[in-house]
A and B are shown apart, each in its own frame.
Chain A
Amino acid sequence: MQDMTQMSTTEQFLFYIQENGWYVFNQFLDHFLISIYGVLLAALIGIPLGVLISKYGKLSNVVITLANIIQTIPALALMAILMLVLGLGKTTVIVTVFFYSLLPIIKNTYVGITTINKSVTDAGRGMGMTKIQVLYMVELPLSLSVIITGIRIALVVAIGITAIGAFIGAGGLGDIIIRGTNATDGTAIILAGALPTALMAILSDIILGIIERRLDPVKRQQKRISATV
């Protein structure tokens, strides 16, 4: 076999990907799923909570302050605390991601709903809609793009946090990065872990950005108008 130490970093990187491609792909998938699960769980709890606090203004301060406090804890510390309760492995990382995703999702839901023009909801009520109907047919569709923005922010942050999760044995691309830091000459290995992580964050940002623009009621309407003209 060739002497790897004589190759340039780029060559080493390409060689690494070629030799371990399948492994990198599996870690990529694991990494992505951990992030997605944390964010989805947070959306399941966060969106209803955001709707709730937009209806009961008094609650909003308490809930948003709490979520803010969670956000100030360093990721590694929160993970270490959760580890004491939940043990090592993926579950702990998913729960950590969940906590970090709460704030952007709750806040965006809250903002999305409270900034809807009052005349629109009043029109709904005037047409005889119930409160639930107003929520489902008027408020949620109008605030959907803002809510998606929250999920988008949460997911990008989550991908970064999952990389740290390798320290408590959760796997993912962070595993590859840590191994690179331990190897004698690991620049290529670090790149092989870091570049896909960055790629994943950028791609999810772009894709959710597209979805967000599609759901934006103002732009949708403009499109419809320009189509008819």
Chain B
Amino acid sequence: MRIKLLLVGVIILSLVIGGCSLTGNKSNGTIKIASVVTTESQILAYMLKYMIEHYTEEEAEVINNLGTSTVVHQAMVNRDANVSAVRYTGTDLTGALQAEPIKDADEALAYVQKEFTSQYNQTFFDSYGFENTYAFMVTKETAEKYKLKTVSDLASVAGELEAGVDTSWMNREGDGYKGFVEEYGFDFSRTYPMQIGLVYDAVDSGELDVVLGYTTDGRIASYDLVVLEDDLNFFPPYDASPFADNELLEKNPEVKAAMERLVGKISTKTMQELNFLADNNLIEPAVVAEDFLNEHDYFSGGDE
């Protein structure tokens, strides 16, 4: 009987201790990082978590799998979270701030930084160094054959080419298909709306000549696709930045410093590679993030 009691005691004790690691850190204003379902967002969420835990005494918790950027915004306003893994200028401009789209990248960033500070007391950091927007892409062979560098270069040959685009982009107002035809003044011989995940394989296998994809998708690097420059600045800028609540940053300046270390450190190409590791090579975003930070020694340079 005594042994049984002892056993029960040990189990309860171990649960209580285990519980501290699970929920105990909630009490003293833990850092909560909100992330949407995309691989990119999850990788960046874990990067911020590990950076903050590496440089400060604070514990950070990732709130994963939120549905959309709107949910993340609401979570931050309701104080369920105080850091966002990644926010895109274009998304927040028309989403959270309900403003007109701004085509110039720097102007857009300056605008959202100013507005988030004054309206929500939140900080929109400078960009990580990459943007995730729509871009037209072709295979290397196609690019060489027609000497393609910019989207305008497509004008003369577009009549011979077949394109694949995101279904939602087809019907979108403003920066959708209609707007594109008006702005650039040409049309493809046929345009197939399809699921965004399929376009990369379609262009790689040669079934389509040109597709509209996301600039940070890992398959761009692995299929060696050429991204055509949007020379008329048709697509609004979607520069990616870390994001946090000012209350947290003022209370913990070290957190701000830790987050700022990532600013400008992740190029579009790097993000493509990281996404590729997670999407194609089955490595968990958390593991991808940790490996990346270890590889770069947590960006400890510039301490002196």
Contacts and interface: CB of A to CB of B under 8 A. Distances in A.
A41 B286 CA distance: 31
A30 to B, nearest CB: 7
A16 B26 CA distance: 31
B87 interface: no
B37 A89 contact: no
B23 interface: yes
Interface residues of A, number: 36
B3 interface: no
A175 interface: yes
Nearest to A186: B282
Interface in B229-286: 279-286
B281 to A, nearest CB: 5
B15 A40 contact: yes
A169 B64 contact: yes
B287 interface: yes
B63 A88 contact: yes
Given A23-B287, A169-B34, A182-B37, A91 B80 contact: no
Contact of A37 (B19, B26, B79, B285): B19
Contact of A19 (B38, B39, B282): B282
A82 B35 CA distance: 20
A1 interface: yes
Interface in A155-171: 166-167, 169, 171
B84 interface: no
Interface in B55-93: 61-66, 75, 78-81
Contacts of B66: 88, 169
Interface string A50-77: 0000000000000000000000000000
Contacts of A30: 22
Nearest to B276: A1
12 contacts: A5-B280, A19-B281, A19-B287, A23-B284, A23-B286, A33-B15, A37-B19, A88-B32, A88-B34, A90-B23, A179-B39, A182-B38
